[in-house]
Amino acid sequence: MPSASSVAVASEARVAASPGEPPDAHIVVRDMDMAYGSFVLIRGLNFTIRRGDIFVIMGGSGCGKSTLMRQMIGLKRPARGQVLYDGASFWDADPDGREQLMRRFGVLYQQGALWSSMTLAENIGLPLGEYTDLSAAEIREIASLKLALVGLAGFEDYYPSEISGGMRKRAGLARAMAMDPEVLFFDEPSAGLDPISSRRLDDLILELRDSMGGTVVMVTHELPSIFAIANNSVFLDPETKSQLATGDPHELLADPPDPKVAEFLTRGGSGRAGEGATAGPDQEATSG
């Protein structure tokens, strides 16, 4: 739940709901354009993420998936448009208001982004030490709890170099949850993982969403993950520089609104989703 102070600050930038917007709308992207200078990535983004959704940002390489996530979490301002959290406009808020909204986010970056010189407990405790008045003992206790939630109980004093890639992903997820966020953002969470570790991470994301009651936003190109856990999505197309679809990926597969969506969701074939060769890593040239 947002703190009283965050609600008070965010309310200063509150925007009226659009007609037809669901009452459980948690995040709304409205009339957004993404660009780097004069180079436009995508125009006219409009979609709604309901509270409790597992929402996937998908599309071909270079379409701006990671850029969209960065604009949603406050790392890059959109060229035009709004990102609304519970009706509060992130980019129309003052700096203090944006900071309060950002404290409601947790982010798992593609490589985990753990500090190599810190133990797992120290990595998880870093945001707690920065933004709370908790004692060192209390922070250590919370770090142990978060590690236990992701299956890493007993690994508090290990360094990132001493554990596997899949374990580093889970440790990064534990750090993303350190502040009990309302929204978890994942950038290619399964990248570099073997199929079994990837499936375990999918199961963990579902368990955490169900137990914490939060909202999950993911950037991914992994079809098995998309169909295993997502119930909402947006599809970006770099050729038309537009949003081709939004909605449940299963429904988009059953009744694709555009041939490109069908091609993506069937890996370029006519078989069932997920068949065929695994797609290569998503390297967005425009987003670093």
pLDDT in tens, 90-134: 999 999 999 989 988 999 887 668 899 999 999 999 989 988 999
Question: Would residue 147 count as lying in a domain?
Answer: yes
Edge-to-edge strand ranges of the sheet holding 242-246: 105-108, 183-187, 215-219, 54-59, 232-237, 242-246
Q: Please report the pLDDT score of residue 43 as a whole number.
A: 95
Q: Please report the pLDDT score of residue 18 as a whole number.
A: 62
Token pair for 174: 């534990």
pLDDT digits (tens, 9 = 90+) for 205-255: 898 888 888 899 999 888 999 999 999 999 999 999 999 999 999 999 999
Q: What is the mean pLDDT of residues 139-164?
A: 93
Instruction: Specify the higher pLDDT residue, 166 or 83.
Output: 83
Question: Would residue 201 count as lying in a domain?
Answer: no
Question: For residue 284, is pLDDT > 70?
Answer: no
Question: Would residue 62 count as lying in a domain?
Answer: no
Q: Please report the pLDDT score of residue 198 as a whole number.
A: 85
Helix segments in 94-135, DSSP class H = 95-102, 120-131
**Residue 13 binned pLDDT confidence (cut-offs 50, 70, 90):** low
Q: What is the mean pLDDT of residues 16-45?
A: 86
Question: For residue 279, is pLDDT > 60?
Answer: no
Question: For residue 152, is pLDDT > 50?
Answer: yes
Q: What is the mean pLDDT of the chain?
A: 85
Domain that holds residue 171: 115-180
Q: Please report the pLDDT score of residue 230 as a whole number.
A: 96
- Which residues are CB-contacts of 101 (< 8 A; sequence separation ≥ 6)? 6, 9, 10, 74, 85, 88, 90, 93
Is residue 44 a contact partner of residue 262, using CB atoms and an 8 Å limit?
no
Q: Please report the pLDDT score of residue 20 as a whole number.
A: 61
Question: For residue 271, is pLDDT > 70?
Answer: no
Burial class (CB in 10 A: 0-12, 13-18, 19+), 136: exposed
Question: Would residue 164 count as lying in a domain?
Answer: yes
pLDDT digits (tens, 9 = 90+) for 163-204: 988 888 889 989 998 998 999 999 888 777 788 888 888 998
pLDDT cut 70: percent of the chain above it: 85
Instruction: Specify the higher pLDDT residue, 205 or 17.
Output: 205
Question: Would residue 150 count as lying in a domain?
Answer: yes
**Closest of 190, 188, 187, 178 to residue 75, by C-alpha:** 187
Question: Would residue 174 count as lying in a domain?
Answer: yes
> pTM for this structure?
0.83
Q: Tell me which of 14-18, 105-109, 177-181, 258-262 is least confident.
A: 14-18
Q: How many CB atoms lie within 10 A of CB 283?
A: 10
Q: What is the mean pLDDT of residues 260-279?
A: 66
Beta partners for 243?
236
Question: Would residue 231 count as lying in a domain?
Answer: no
**Residue 15 binned pLDDT confidence (cut-offs 50, 70, 90):** low
Question: For residue 268, is pLDDT > 70?
Answer: no
Number of domains present in the structure of the chain: 1
Question: Would residue 142 count as lying in a domain?
Answer: yes
